[in-house]
Amino acid sequence: MTIKRQKLEQLLLVAIFTTFMGQIYVMPFGSGFRLTFAVVVLNILMLTFNEIEPFSAINLVGLLMFFVRSFVYVASGEGTLFQAFNVYYPILFFYIFYSVFFIILDVRSLVKTPYALFLSIWICDSIPNIIEVIVRQEWKSVNFEEIIFTIILIGILRTIITTVLVYLTRYYYEKSKERENHHVFVERILLMSNLKNELFFLRKSKKDIENAMQRSFEIYEQMGDSELKSSILSVTKDIHEIKKDYTRVISGLEKSIKDSPIYSMNIKEIVDIVVTSNRKYAQNRKVSVNFSQAIGFDYKTEDYLAVISILNNIVTNAVEAFKYEGKCSIDQFVEDNQMIFEISNDGDGIDPQDIPLIFEPGFSTKFNENNGVMASGIGLTHVKHLVEDYFEGTIEVKTKKNNLTCFRIAIPMARMMVSKAQTKDN
């Protein structure tokens, strides 16, 4: 029901708008015959709304055009209703034959072939106009060759306008679609990056749970007959159940990541995604941030999710550190067979006494101003784990209070450039 209503609304939109544009016209032969801009509009709309059935839509336009012109003719006192009918009924022949040619030539299928589209639109425009002129018997008052020449010339001009507008519309539509698809792609990549981020921590937590379960069971075995022994065993079983839940969650996340397309990504593409995402984040926070990036050595890596997670966490922290405006730069280069990333910002900096603590789980100086709840404080912990444990690299922080903060990340080139098939499962 909704689809039928939508098609009906589109049909009425095409008919009404085209009829309205039909009031822009010239009368080259001084009679009721008009050459209007409506045909250009109708061509564009028919090529845009592919769901609309052309015969009914085009002939509905013809009927509306006939009734509107007849009404204006009578309302302006130019003649009677019968006279209006005699003057404007030939227009119906134009739209009938226009719809027939539009269907026979299958104009919609020719959009990808400009020359064929141009020729088919010109035929749909010119031949029905010639038929209308014949019905009107215009040759009785005007030279027939002059009539044909005028119709062909105006038909060519209208076809040129139509073709240019059609391809301009398609160009901007495709560009808009590309931007939308890129936005969806970036969101998906960031989501997968966050999932992989959480997966690293879940695996670590699973190991901690296994160790806790092992210690609990050892305590159970070492205890003699005691009232606490059964309680310890119960706790051990509970820990085991928690471990099974973690295992199921980890398996689900691993499957989601493995099912996603596996491909490599350039460092520049990675940095672009991080900058694009955080530029939007800064706009949402109503903060003006000037982002800059310098890529010294661009190449492809299959570990793009982990690299995105590292850079995104640090850049997001920089955006959140700005109150009104600031600058953030990402510089990448190679030094001593190591891939170096330097992420700098001119925010308030980090208190020197907090430097040893910023990578500890739960440490944070950020809080929600609305409810006063502190941030989770695990973002930089993720970063440190990825850099040192996953990539076997190093991370350093340089800061000046109320001046500058710079994170320097060094990752061995050999570790960045190997394929996932050669790396151990982390």
> pLDDT grade, residue 398 (50/70/90)?
confident
Q: What is the Cα–Cα distance from 40 to 49, expressed in whole angstroms?
A: 14
Say if residue 419's pLDDT is above 60.
no
Q: What is the Cα–Cα distance from 340 to 17, expressed in whole angstroms?
A: 59
User: What average pLDDT does the segment 71-86 reach?
Assistant: 84
Torsion sign over Cα 99, 103, 108, 111: negative
Domain residue spans of the chain: 2-179, 193-259, 265-422
Q: What is the pLDDT of residue 324?
A: 86
Q: Which CATH number fits domain 265-422: 3.90.1150.10, 3.40.50.2300, 3.10.20.600, 3.30.565.10?
A: 3.30.565.10
Say if residue 369's pLDDT is above 60.
no
Say if residue 204's pLDDT is above 70.
no
> pLDDT grade, residue 76 (50/70/90)?
confident
Top pLDDT among 244 and 391 is at: 391
List phi, psi (to 5°) of 120.
-65, -40
Q: What is the pLDDT of residue 197?
A: 63
pLDDT, the chain, mean: 80
Q: What is the pLDDT of residue 29?
A: 47
E strand or H helix at 405: strand 404-412
Domain 2-179 - what CATH class?
mainly alpha
Top pLDDT among 378 and 354 is at: 354
Top pLDDT among 393 and 36 is at: 393
User: What average pLDDT does the segment 127-135 reach?
Assistant: 87
Q: What is the pLDDT of residue 363?
A: 62
Q: What is the pLDDT of residue 255?
A: 72
Q: What is the pLDDT of residue 201?
A: 63
- Give the pLDDT confidence of 40-59 residue by residue, as tens digits: 888 888 888 888 888 988 88
Q: What is the pLDDT of residue 26?
A: 56
Distances (CA, A) of 315 to 67, 203, 231, 275, 290: 64, 25, 47, 8, 12
User: What average pLDDT does the segment 177-187 reach?
Assistant: 77
User: What average pLDDT does the segment 190-212 reach?
Assistant: 72
Say if residue 33's pLDDT is above 70.
no
**Cα–chain center distance at 52:** 27
Q: Which of 73-77, 112-116, 152-156 has the highest mean pLDDT?
A: 112-116
Q: What is the pLDDT of residue 32?
A: 46
Per DSSP, the three-state class of 46 is: helix
Q: What is the pLDDT of residue 301?
A: 86
Torsion sign over Cα 218, 221, 222, 224: positive
From the number of C-beta atoms within 10 Å of its C-beta (0-12, 13-18, 19+), residue 184 rates as exposed
- Give the pLDDT confidence of 402-417 residue by residue, as tens digits: 678 899 999 998 887 7
- Give the pLDDT confidence of 243-299 residue by residue, as tens digits: 777 777 777 776 766 655 657 788 998 999 899 889 988 998 899 999 999 999 888
User: What average pLDDT does the segment 214-238 reach?
Assistant: 75
Q: What is the pLDDT of residue 370?
A: 54
- The DSSP line for 192-253 is HHHHHHHHHHHHHHHHHHHHHHHHHHHHHHH--S-HHHHHHHHHHHHHHHHHHHHHHHHHHH
**What type of residue sits at position 348?**
D
Per DSSP, the three-state class of 336 is: coil
